[in-house]
Amino acid sequence: MQFRPGAVTPGSGTGLESSASRRRLAALRSPWRHAWILEGVTWVYLAWSILPIGLAVLFSFNRGKSQSTWQGFSLRWYTSDPLNSVLHDPQLHAAVVQTLRLSLLTTVITVPLGVGFAIGIDRWRGRAASAFNFLMIFSFVIPELIFGVALFFVFTALLTSVHLGTAAEVLGLVTWNLSWPAIIVRARLVSIGHQYEEAAADLGASRLEAVRRVLLPMLMPAVFASAVLVFAGVVDDFVIVDLLSSTANTQPMSVIIYSNTHGGNGGPALNALATLMLVASFAVAALGYAGYRWMTRGERSGRQHALASITGM
């Protein structure tokens, strides 16, 4: 959602040490003393971080209304309940559709915009380029609420022809996510260097051809990774869509979950909705991971690198 560790270190992501130095490091530790306390802390943290989610998923399949007593497996809250299941409750149903619509629209607009921006800013040196780069990074760290408030005022007081709703949400989400492709593609540009373009130019390609036929294919893994991140980021986004949605029809899943749980009143159908959201995100992540591995198959980068890349690390 609104915090994005990716900008921390442009060009990182391959911060994995070589096997030789890892071996040296292993020898460094006393072999008879494993860090049991640290390992304990890590497992307790992981259990604390993952078990609640597992239980929430489990209880979305509960036959009864309770979220703390297991009453048997059913798909009641997904499909069979005639009133309150995700399938039959028009509000929940519309939320799923709206989330998918926002994610697709935002990804399709953001990625080309950000990729062009990254290439342009990286190769076109000068004051204007660094000013825009700075602006982009600034848009990356600003708390989402402050930005969301600013957009809210733009659409209610200045660009009033854009009403609050899907159009405003997409415009806001594109702006908020533009830095993903910009930062990730730029990091890859830096690691590629200039030599391939120069070689292409020596062989008679024009600049534009060099970009299109040499640079872009080499950038594809980064472009792909940023598309995955933007899509998943929009699925998860809350603040912007909360402030810029208007009627129930334009509220995506995250807003529906939020507005139905004020003050701690969940409902099993919300668990089902959240589980669907989880499945959507994990599907995108798995697809992203597999796609990234496939695209970088000729390169010497491991699984951890692929995992880190699609997370924007």
Partner 1 sequence: MTSRDRGDEPPGARRAGMLWAALAAPGAVWLLVLFVVPFYAVLAIAGGQISPILESIVPEWNPLRWRSSNAVGAWRDVVGSTAFVGPVLVRTVLYVAAASAISLVIAYPVAYFVTRFGGRRKGMFLAMLIAPFWISYMMRMLAWIDLLQTDGYVNRVLMSLHLVNQPVDWLGGQSSTVVLGLVYGYIPYLILVLYSGIDRIDPRLLEAGRDLGLSKWRTFVRVTVPLSRQSIVTGMLITVLPMFGDYFTNQMLSGAAGTSMIGNVIDGQLTTSSLEGQGAVMSLALLAVLLAPMLAYAVSTARASLESA
Name residues contacting partner 1, limited to 62-91 (CB under 8 A): 67-69
Which residue stretches of the chain are H helix? 19-28, 36-59, 90-123, 127-141, 144-153, 166-177, 179-192, 195-202, 207-210, 216-236, 239-244, 253-260, 268-295, 303-311
Amino acid code (one letter) for 229: L
**CA-CA-CA-CA torsion sign (295, 297, 301, 305):** positive
- CB nearer to partner 1: give 75 or 154: 154
Among the candidate windows 55-63, 86-94, 217-225, 291-299, which touches partner 1 by CB under 8 A? 55-63
- Which of positions 24-43 make contact with partner 1 (CB under 8 A)? 24-26, 28-30, 34-35, 38-39, 41-42
Phi, psi angle pair for 195, to nearest 5°: -65, -30
What's the CA gap between 76 and 62, in Å, rounded? 8
Minimum distance from residue 244 beta carbon to partner 1 (Å): 11
- CB nearer to partner 1: give 221 or 254: 254
- CB nearer to partner 1: give 153 or 294: 153
- CB nearer to partner 1: give 132 or 196: 132
Among the candidate windows 2-10, 78-86, 88-96, 293-301, which touches partner 1 by CB under 8 A? 2-10
How is residue 295 written in tokens?
A: 């695209």
Beta carbons of 256 and 95 less than 8 angstroms apart? yes
- Which of positions 188-247 make contact with partner 1 (CB under 8 A)? 190, 207-208, 211, 232, 235-236, 238-239, 242-243
How is residue 164 written in tokens?
A: 């609050």
- CB nearer to partner 1: give 221 or 252: 252
- Which of positions 278-307 make contact with partner 1 (CB under 8 A)? 278, 281-282, 285, 303-304, 307
- Which of positions 94-123 make contact with partner 1 (CB under 8 A)? 113-114, 116-117, 119-123
- CB nearer to partner 1: give 221 or 229: 229
The per-residue DSSP string of 149-195 comes to: HHHHHIIIIISTTS-TTHHHHHHHHHHHHTHHHHHHHHHHHHHH-SH
* Residue 41 burial (10 A CB sphere; 0-12, 13-18, 19+): exposed
Neighbours of 305 (CB within 10 A): 18
Confirm or reject binding of residue 311 to partner 1 (CB under 8 A).
yes
Q: Any idea what DSSP says for residue 213?
A: I
- CB nearer to partner 1: give 92 or 235: 235
- Which of positions 162-191 make contact with partner 1 (CB under 8 A)? 171-172, 174-175, 178, 182, 186-187, 190
